[in-house]
Structure 1
Amino acid sequence: MRTLSLYLHFPFCLGKCTYCDFASYPWSSHHDRNSYLALVCTELSLKVKFFELEGSVLESVYFGGGTPSLLDAPSISSFLLYLQRFFRYSGKVEITVEVNPGTVDQNWIREVARGGVNRIQVGVQSFDQRFLLFAKRACKVEDIYAILELLSTQGFQNWGADLIYGWPFQGFAEWQKEVKELLKFEPCHVSIYELSLHFPSPMAWFAKRHPRSFPSDDEKANWFSWTREWLIQRGYLHYEISNFAKPGFECQHNLRYWRNEEYLGLGVAAWSYLRGERHRNSRHLRNYRFHLENGSLPIEYREALSLPQRLDEEIFLRLRTSEGLDTEILSQRYPVALVKEKIERMEFLLQEGFLQKEGSRYFLSAKGMLVANQVFSEIID
C-alpha cells in the first residue's frame, strides 16, 4: 500500500515580511482564493494521473504558505473532501494549517476542525513589537495573544507555535523572555528557528550593511543551548534540530520529510518527492496558471536522484532527528561499499564528539546540533 504526504502551498499574504524570500503574492480579493484553489485542483488531477497516485493513503496534509489561514473554513473543508476523490485518509491522518495571528477567530477554528483539520501551527515569530515592526509582520502583539489564548483555552488538542531568534538588536534576556512567554500557553509543539536571511529580502540587505546589529554566531549558539535545556526540563522532546514537542505531539508531516518518505506538493513553488525523483513547480504564479490552463504540469525543475545522492539525502534528513540514522537499515537499501564509507566518516565525527551512537544508530550530540550543517558536510558528498 502506497502512503503519501501532501503539501499545499498557498502563496498569498497580507504583506511581505522583510526576512521572507518565499514565493508570495499580495492578498487582494476572494477571486484570488477561488481561482487559485481551482488551479490547485487541476494540478492535483493531472499529477495523480501522471504519477499513478490514485488510491494512495494520505498520512498527512499540510496547508503552508504564504498565509493559508486567509482561506475561509468552507474552502479548506471542500478541498479536504476533494482529496478523497483520489486518495484514502489513514486512520491517524494529520491535517495541519499554518495560521498567522490576526487572520482567524474562534468560529474559523471551530469550523476547520469540523472539516477535518486537527493540527494548527501558529507563526508567532516574536512577542516583541519592535521586531514585528522591523519585520513588517502583518499582525500586532495583541493578535498573537488572542490566537494563543483561543487555542490554549478552547480545547484544540494539537497545536504549536514558531519563534525566531537572532533579530537585530536582540539580547539574550529578550530571547529568554520570548521563550518563557510562549510556554505560558503550554503549546504541544514548539519550533525554534534562527533568523535565516537570503537575498533579495530587505533584511538580508540590512544585514550586509549593518552586520554588527545582529547577535554573533557564538551568542546564538549559547541561546540555542539554553533554549534546548529549558524546554527539555519542561517535558518537551527535542525530536528534530529546530523542533520540540510534548510526547505524542511530534509533527507527523515533517517527520515524513525527515524520514525521506514520499510527498506530493501542490501550488506555486511546491516541491514533490516521488519514486526517487524530486521536482518543483514554477515559482511564478503567471507561469503556474499558464501551464494548468493549457493542460500541462507546472513543473519547472526536476531531478532523478542517483543512488549515492539518495543515500546522502537520507543521511542528511535522518540525522536531523532524535531517531537518528540506523546503518543496518541503510545497508539493506544501499550498496554496502557506499554505506561503509559513510560509517567511516561518522566514526571520525563520533570520536570528535559531534555524534553519539547506540548500537547501529548514529545521532547528533548536543555539540553536533550547534554546527549541524558542518557535520552533514563532513559526511555527505
Structure 2
Amino acid sequence: MPKELSLYLHFPFCQRKCFYCDFNSYADKNRLIPDYLRALENEIRRFSPQHPVIRSVYFGGGTPSLIPAESLTKLLAYVRQYFGVAADAEITIEVNPGTVGIEDLIILRTGGFNRLSIGLQAVQNKILNTIGRIHTWEQFREVFGYSRECGFDNIGVDLIAGLPGQTTGDWNVSLQKVTELGPEHLSVYALQIEDGTPLAEMIERGAVELPAEEEVARMLNQAMVFLRSQGFEHYEIANYARPGYESRHNFGYWTGRDYLGFGAGASSTCYGERWVNLKDPELYAERLRAGLSVIAERETLDETKRLTEAVMLGLRVRRGLDLDWLRERFHLNLLDQAGLEIEQLAAAGLVVIRENRLALTDEGVLVSNQVLAKIMRNL
C-alpha cells in the first residue's frame, strides 16, 4: 500500500439524468440508496487496515447531493474512522443546485466537507432546460450564496462550451456572471456527444443544433483570455483556479498518485494494478452483502502503460511534462524518441519547451487530442 492515497466515492443516483451524460448514473434507482450506502461501508472496510495518509476525498456522481446530507456526513465520518485522513485534506462533494438548500449545506460543512464542486454548465435557463438540467441560473446563484454563508471558502463551478443553441455571446455572459460571484475554481469543458445519450438522439433527428467547431474553439479561447484577466491560473487543459485553489484531488490523478475508488463503476489504481467495479448499483450492493468481489475488470500496469499515461497526463497540465523526470523514471529521452514530431509541433506553435518541460501552448490546448496523438504514436 502506498504511503499517500486519494479516495473517490461514487453515487450513481440522479433526480433526472442530463441529456448529454453517459456517466454511470441512474434516475430510476433511488430506492436502492439505503442499501447502497451500507455497501459502500462494506467496501471501505476491505481496504482500511493499512491506513495510508489520505490527501483528498471526493464524493462524485451521479448526484451525491441527492443523498440526505446527514447520510453523507455519516459516511465521511466512517471514512475517517477507517483511513488516516490528513488534517488538511481536501474533501469535495459535487452538488447539483436543484438538490440542496441551506440546511443541507450547513450539515455538509459542519460534517467535514470543505470544498464544493457545483455543476452549472450555463447561465441561460433556456439552454439549461434544453440539456435536461433540473435547476435554473437563479437557483445556482442562491445555492452559491448559501454556500458562502455556511463557510465554504473553496468552491468550484463547471461550465460547458458548445451546448445546443449556445452562442459566443451566451458564453461570454456565462463567464462574466460566474466570475462576478467569485468562485475559487472553474472547470471549462467542451461538450462531448456520446452515443446512446438523449442529446445524441436529439441531434440525429434535428431537434437541436450545435455551434460549429470553430465557434466552440473561439469560446474556449475566450475562456483562456478572460479567466486569466480575472486572476485565474490555467493549470490544466480544462481547469482554472485562483492561486492555491487547484483541485488537489484531480491534480493527484494528473500526477500519477494512487487512488482507491469505492462504489458502482468506480475505478482504482493501486498496488501497480487498476481495477473497475461492477456498474450496476443493485448488483454491487448484493455482492458486497454476500461477501463477494465487486471487481468487474482488473489489469496490471506494466511499464509501457505507465509511460503512456505519464506522458498523456503530464501534457494535460499546463506547466508541462518534466523531461528530466521522464528520463530518470522510464529511462526515456522523449526528444530522441519523438524529436521530429515535437519539432514540427513546436514550429506550428502548438508546443513549447520551457525549463526542460514540454508544454502545450494556448493554440495547442485547442487541438490537444491531435497533439497528444502525434507524440504518443512514437512511444
TM-score, with length taken from structure 2: 0.94
The Cα shift of 1:332 comes to 1.4
Give the distance between the partners of 1:64 and 1:155, measured in 2 at CA. 21
Aligned CA RMSD, in angstroms, stands at 1.9
Aligned ranges for residues 86-165 of structure 1 at < 5 Å?
86-152=82-148, 154-165=150-161
By how many angstroms is 1:283 displaced? Answer: 1.4
Distance 1:176 1:337 in 2: 42
Maintained 8 Å contact 1:330/1:339: no
Q: For residues 374 and 206 of structure 1, do their structure 2 counterparts lie closer, same or farther at Cα, with a shift above 3 Å needed?
A: same
Letter in 1 for 2:11: F
Task: Report the CA distance between 1:339 and its aligned residue.
Answer: 7.5
Cα distance per residue 1:284-327 (max 9 Å; x no partner): 12331232122122111122122121111011111111221101
How far, CA to CA, are the matches of 2:336 and 2:260 in structure 1?
32
Q: Which amino acid aligns with 1:22?
A: F
Q: Deviations over 1:148-189 (max 9, x none)?
A: 222345542111111112112221111111111111201111
Distance 1:43 1:317 in 2: 28
Q: What is the match of residue 35 of structure 1?
A: 35
Q: Determine if contact 1:64/1:98 at 8 Å carries over to the other structure.
A: yes
Shift of 1:211: 9.6
Deviation at 1:137, TM superposition (A): 1.3
Structure 2 segments unaligned to the other structure (5+ residues): none
Contact between 2:184 and 2:245, CA under 8 Å: does it hold in 1?
Answer: yes
CA distance in 2, matches of 1:267, 1:179: 34
Separation in 2 of the partners of 1:347 and 1:287? 51
Q: How many residue pairs get matched?
A: 376
Other structure's SS at 1:127 match: coil
Q: What CA deviation, in whole Å up to 9, does each residue of 1:89-130 have, x standing for no partner? A: 223200000000021122221221111100001001122111
Classify the secondary structure of the residue corresponding to 1:272: strand
How far apart, in 1, do the equivalents of 2:27 and 2:115 lie? 26
1:28 deviates by 6.1
- Corresponding position: 1:353 with 2:349: yes
- More moved, 10-19 vs 73-82: 73-82
Mean Cα displacement is larger for which, 86-95 or 230-239?
A: 86-95
Matched with 1:22 is 23
| Other structure's SS at 1:213 match | coil
Structure-to-structure mapping, 1:224-303, within 5 angstroms? 224-303=220-299
CA change 1:373–1:87 in 2 (3 A) is same
- Per the alignment, do residues 73 and 154 of structure 1 end up closer, same or farther by CA in structure 2, a change over 3 Å counting? closer
Alignment of 1:325-364 (within 5 A): 325-336=321-332, 340-342=336-338, 345-364=341-360
Distance in 1 separating the partners of 2:24 and 2:283: 13
What SS does structure 2 have at the residue aligned with 1:13? coil
> What is the letter of the counterpart of residue 6 of structure 1?
L
User: How big is the shift at 1:87?
Assistant: 1.6
Q: Which whole-Å CA distance do the structure 2 matches of 1:137 and 1:180 have between them?
A: 21
List aligned pairs for 1:66-85, cutoff 5 A: 66-85=62-81
Partner of 2:226: helix, strand, or coil? helix
Amino acid at match of 2:112: G
State the alpha-carbon separation in 2 of the partners of residues 172 and 159 from structure 1.
25
Moved more, 102-111 or 321-330: 102-111
The 3 A distance-change label for structure 1 pair 336 and 164 is closer
Moved more, 264-273 or 141-150: 141-150
TM-score, normalised via structure 1 length: 0.93
Opposite residue 3 of structure 1, the aligned amino acid is E
CA contact (8 A) 1:324 1:362 kept: yes
Q: Which ranges in structure 1 are unaligned for 5 or more consecutive residues?
A: none
- Between the aligned partners of 1:181 and 1:198, the Cα distance in structure 2 is 29
Cα distance, 1:48 vs structure 2: 4.2
The one-letter code sitting in structure 1 at the alignment partner of 2:33 is: R
Same amino acid, percent of matched pairs: 36
